[in-house]
Chain A
Amino acid sequence: MKKGLVSFLVKAVPLLAAWAIVLVLINAGIVTDYYLATMATICINIVLAVSLNLITGFTGQFSLGHAGFMAIGAYTCAMVTMAEPSVLGFVGGLLGGGVLAALVGLLVGLPTLRLRGDYLAIATLGMAEIIRIILLNQDATNGAAGLSGIPAFLDWNWMFFLTVATVWIIANFLHSSQGRACISVREDEIAAESIGVHTVRSKVLAFMIGAFFAGIAGGMYASYFYFIKPDLFGFLKSVDILVIVVLGGLGSLSGSIIAAILLALISTALQPFPELRMIIYSLALVVIMIFRPQGLMGSREVSLGVLNRFRRREPAVATASAAPAIRRDDDEEVV
Chain B
Amino acid sequence: MFEVEDLNVHFGGIHALKGISLRVDEGEIVTLVGANGAGKTTTLRTASGLKKPTSGRITLDGKDITKLSAQDRVKRGLCQVPEGRRVFPAMSVSENLDLGAYLRRDRAGVAADLTNVFERFPVLGERRRQLAGTLSGGEQQMLAMGRALMSRPKVLLLDEPSMGLAPLLVQEIFSIIADINAEGTTVLLVEQNANMALQVAHRAYVMETGTMVMSGTAAELSQTDDIKKAYLGG
What is the bound-complex CA distance between A188 and B80, given in angstroms? 14
Q: Is A191 a contact of B103 with CB atoms below 8 Å?
A: no
Contacts of B75 in A (CB 8 A): 196
> Which residue of chain B has the shortest Cβ distance to A251 in the bound complex?
B90
Question: Which of B56-64, B81-89, B111-119 contacts its partner?
Answer: B81-89
Q: Is A197 a contact of B91 with CB atoms below 8 Å?
A: no
Q: Is B50 a contact of A195 with CB atoms below 8 Å?
A: no
Min CB gap A75→B, angstroms: 38
A184 at the interface (CB under 8 A from B): yes
B11 at the interface (CB under 8 A from A): no
B42 at the interface (CB under 8 A from A): no
Q: Is B50 a contact of A197 with CB atoms below 8 Å?
A: no
Min CB gap A298→B, angstroms: 10
Contacts of A187 in B (CB 8 A): 88-91
A78 at the interface (CB under 8 A from B): no
Q: Is B82 a contact of A184 with CB atoms below 8 Å?
A: no
What is the bound-complex CA distance between A269 and B103, given in angstroms? 50
Q: Is A183 a contact of B91 with CB atoms below 8 Å?
A: yes
Contact partner of B151 among A183, A196, A299, CB < 8 A? A196
What is the bound-complex CA distance between A325 and B151, given in angstroms? 48
Contacts of A188 in B (CB 8 A): 86-89
Centre residue among B75, B87, B89, B90 by max chain A CB count within 10 A: B90
Centre residue among B69, B81, B98, B102 by max chain A CB count within 10 A: B102
Min CB gap B136→A, angstroms: 18
B204 at the interface (CB under 8 A from A): no
Known A188-B86, A190-B86: A196·B102 in contact at CB below 8 Å: yes
What is the bound-complex CA distance between A186 and B99, given in angstroms? 13
Using a CB-CB cutoff of 8 Å, which residues 82-110 of chain B contact chain A?
Answer: 82, 86-91, 95, 98-100, 102-103
B48 at the interface (CB under 8 A from A): yes
What is the bound-complex CA distance between A190 and B91, given in angstroms? 16
A237 at the interface (CB under 8 A from B): no
Contacts of A197 in B (CB 8 A): 71, 99, 102
Using a CB-CB cutoff of 8 Å, which residues 178-206 of chain A contact chain B?
Answer: 180-181, 183-184, 187-188, 190-198
Q: Is A191 a contact of B95 with CB atoms below 8 Å?
A: no
Q: Is B90 a contact of A191 with CB atoms below 8 Å?
A: no
Contact partner of A195 among B79, B89, B90, CB < 8 A? B79
B203 at the interface (CB under 8 A from A): no
B147 at the interface (CB under 8 A from A): yes
What is the bound-complex CA distance between A180 and B89, given in angstroms? 13
Q: Is A194 a contact of B102 with CB atoms below 8 Å?
A: no
Q: Is A194 a contact of B71 with CB atoms below 8 Å?
A: no
A177 at the interface (CB under 8 A from B): yes
Q: Is A180 a contact of B70 with CB atoms below 8 Å?
A: no
Contacts of A192 in B (CB 8 A): 88, 99
Q: Is A196 a contact of B74 with CB atoms below 8 Å?
A: yes
B7 at the interface (CB under 8 A from A): no
Q: Is B82 a contact of A190 with CB atoms below 8 Å?
A: yes
Q: Is B80 a contact of A194 with CB atoms below 8 Å?
A: yes
Q: Is A180 a contact of B95 with CB atoms below 8 Å?
A: yes
Contacts of B79 in A (CB 8 A): 194-196
> Which residue of chain A has the shortest Cβ distance to B157 in the bound complex?
A194
B4 at the interface (CB under 8 A from A): no
Using a CB-CB cutoff of 8 Å, which residues 129-186 of chain B contact chain A?
Answer: 144, 147-148, 150-151
What is the bound-complex CA distance between A67 and B89, given in angstroms? 32
Contact partner of B71 among A184, A191, A196, A251, CB < 8 A? A196
Min CB gap B94→A, angstroms: 11
Min CB gap B218→A, angstroms: 26
Contact partner of A177 among B50, B86, B98, B144, CB < 8 A? B98
What is the bound-complex CA distance between A181 and B75, given in angstroms? 16
Q: Is A193 a contact of B98 with CB atoms below 8 Å?
A: no
Contacts of B81 in A (CB 8 A): 194
Contacts of A177 in B (CB 8 A): 98, 102
Min CB gap B51→A, angstroms: 11
Min CB gap A58→B, angstroms: 11
Taking A180-B95, A184-B88, A187-B91 as known contacts, 18 extra A-B pairs with beta carbons closer than 8 A to each other, sorted by chain A number, are A181-B102, A183-B91, A188-B87, A190-B50, A190-B86, A191-B82, A191-B87, A194-B50, A194-B74, A194-B86, A195-B100, A195-B148, A196-B70, A196-B71, A197-B71, A197-B102, A251-B90, A299-B90
Interface residues of B (CB under 8 A from A): 48, 50, 69-71, 74-75, 79-82, 86-91, 95, 98-100, 102-103, 144, 147-148, 150-151
In the A-B complex, the 4 residue pairs with the closest CB atoms: A196-B74, A191-B86, A187-B88, A196-B103
